[in-house]
Structure 1
Amino acid sequence: MRNNLYPQFGILLIDDEESFLRSMSIALERRGGFNHIYRCQDSRKAMQVIADEPIGLVLLDLTMPHVSGEELLQAIASDYPDISVIILSGLNQLEVALNCIRLGAYDYFVKTTEEDRLIEGIRRAVRLQEMSFENRELRRRFLSDTLEQPEVFANIITQDKAMRSVFQYLESIAPSQQPVLIMGESGVGKEQIAHAIHTLSARSGPLVSVNVAGLDDNVFADTLFGHHRGAFTGADKARAGMIEQAAEGTLFLDEIGDLSQASQVKLLRLLQEGEYYPLGSDRPKRIRARIVVATHQNLEEKQLQGEFRKDLYYRLRIHQVEIPPLRKRKKDLGLLLDYFLSEAADELGKAKPTIPKELPVLLENYDFPGNVRELRAMAFDAMSQHRARILSMEAFRRVLTADHSPELLAEKGVAVRFNEEQPLPSLQEISDLLVEEAMRRAQGNQSLASRLIGISQPALSKRLKKLQGDEPL
């Protein structure tokens, strides 16, 4: 199926020797995992193949009858500047190589070059072309501000611009085979994003999810790679690993920041070589799944501290996306609350209540350390206690009150910064500023504002009258 072709663009081999075309095609597929290959033995037909097919990379011989490789190189560079050309020549001459680079070739290899070095050079060219394609797609989507497959994101409830940008980015990288790193705090919905990536890529295989937190090295290897019968004590029969189960699909590794150093080495080799060994086997298997990983930890900090391999980090971050926390998506609160209350009402067999107009305002003044997951838990808790037509705010108030307790604020290190070059404000000025800010955050609701600053509603009303000059100081 076309969906399982890799890379997304075609690789065209141009050589007058049929035996070389055949052997190179086999090497590209077995060693590189490339199966989107076109072959051309007659150099006179090469430009027509490029015109008819979605070619992104050309492997070109120099010495051919009819049209030379140098002539073809110049024609490709002139007519199709976005196509990369790698020269595969029988000539080991520096002057020839430099001339090819000057004419626009991406790289130059002698045919007798060892296969590993050649395949790695082709991998580099493929990655460069993929990034170029993705950048063009990303620019196009951002400039037009469109989503081509909005239905894929239908289950992610949001109207946030930052989330829309995430969706546009995911659409642009969907065809790539390269790994994707999903970052974000716990509870923001990283697994939903992994599902969206899998759906967008239209791969024929399944999405297989593995939480790697707490897995020791042996369990990690057995879980991912599988084993042969007799590989270790208790291995009575062979078992396919998650990589094989995800063939032609997506392998999602959650909590990748908790992976042990030994397991990090195994994952790095898998990404570099594109192959793995089931436990007890001496024959490698090629990975036929796309790798998507997620973490709530800061991998950049972990690699600086020596807790996460730098080379693995850079492999994983070829494509990366960060999901904004709920506290930065305040406009989504009302949508999510309504959705979760409907979900809870259906599950509990109750009628959906009316939401008090003060509730969204109350929630906007909460940080939601547990993000979307925490809001869902609140909604279900409130629905379980619901008895009247209007939803009680008590379940939400308890959380807000606990979050603003002096002990918790001290624990968070909450502090007010003053400009050292300016005189300190008076206590009265500070008090007035605090009241004004509380009223702004509560959108004019005195009951909510009083809760935010820890005073009674009558006391707040009295302070407001003083500010407005209606009551003597």
Structure 2
Amino acid sequence: MNWDRESRWTRIRFFLDQVGAAAGSAFASRAVRVLSELTGADACWIRVDDVVLAQHLAPGAMPIALSASPADGASTLRQGDAWLVRQMLRDRSDGTERRVGELLVRLSTREPPNPGVFEFLDTVGELIAGRLKQQERVEQIQEQLREERTTFVGASHMGLGELVDRPGMASIRADADAAVVGDAPVLILGESGTGKTRLANAIAEASGRVPIVRATLGASDDLNTITSELFGHVRGAFSGAVAARKGLVEYADGGTLILDEVLNLPPHAQQLLLDFTQFGTYRPLGYQAAEPKRARVRLLAATNGDIRRAIADTRFRQDLYFRLASIPITLPPLRDCRADIPTLASAYLARVDRHRAVWTLSDQAKAALMSTELEWEGNIRELEGLLQRAVHRARAEGDTAGTQMIQTRHLGLTMGTSPTPLPPAATSKDISLSDRWRQLELDRDALDTRERDAITAAMTKSAGVVNRAARLLGVPRTSLLSRMKRLGIDKLEFAPEA
């Protein structure tokens, strides 16, 4: 075979044409098959961390005998009447050189390989390494998305009992219990901040229908965007669709799909969702097979809009409403259940700063929060924001170890208005440097709390394995260890018990 410069580049172009569009495991499988064809090899393997990622054997060919040591650059080894060429896969995408794995090609010849073979494999090996690292990053991002879609953790998480076992929820408790034991669609209505998505999460978790996938429906009128998000698309379905993509319905198969702000769906997307609720079938964008795909998904929808007005204005399909509202639940605004405020506040304070102190409300603070002069336009979300600010104010007064009390002065309430009124526009000259620094400290404390919760959740899910936790969070292992040290998080706390 000719291995001069022109021949090598012809082979490289052919390799790219044959494998360039392949994704995932298909890329590695196609790469070894094409390389075997281009080099005349009877066996070709790609190995990563001593694991064979893909292999191709010609008919009648024997498997490659592998040692545990990785290739360092390129090396050759005589095996009977054949030569085994081992090429290190090196990724240089970020300006540094890192070993990704190795490529092994067995040439059925007694003569030593042509030097052009090594140059060809070096170039192809770099292409393969870059694609493998790219695919690894894609998988990390997909894993993060799956975690976000199927896991609900953090300081705002509330169980079903905490949400409905209070006086203001007496009217919906029976419906919430019915939603847990059944599999009928649920439609949750209520003002912004009343806890609709939290209730949907809690119902899904209590029912055990996993995975739990959340779809936040934007106001896009683009059919391609909406269809792809919900039902996925095939490669080439539209310009830019270089790879197939699963939709949220497929991710939720066998579990629960939460449709947040369902009123944002335009009419053509409502028709697609209606068909799915009726028949359990769907077609990804560009899907040409005769039979549609199927998925068993429990739907929980939520909206803060006036759905009856939307139906009257023909902005929302009435037949879809009846399909989604098998169990309708309307959450009351916080101003209509003020007696629940101390319970909600205590539950939130038990979570907000649990790594530092235990916070409670004074009787005077409870009375202030229940005042009829407060409008609570933001409902539970506004209450939690106010309590978080109160914790920061109380913490700034001194030592916060042990049990701490939130006093009325920490709440910063102004009666007759919303507890969190919109501030007037301020110029830089209105804010002193000390005030700016104090605000930075408050923001930093809030960020530390959220970061600590996220790291704790990732370390718990990974059973204390830092590498896996770093992948879940999408950060380098060294960065995660540095943040854990700064936040005082010990990885041994998450190790499984012997």
Report the TM-score, using the length of structure 2 for normalisation.
0.47
Report the TM-score, using the length of structure 1 for normalisation.
0.49
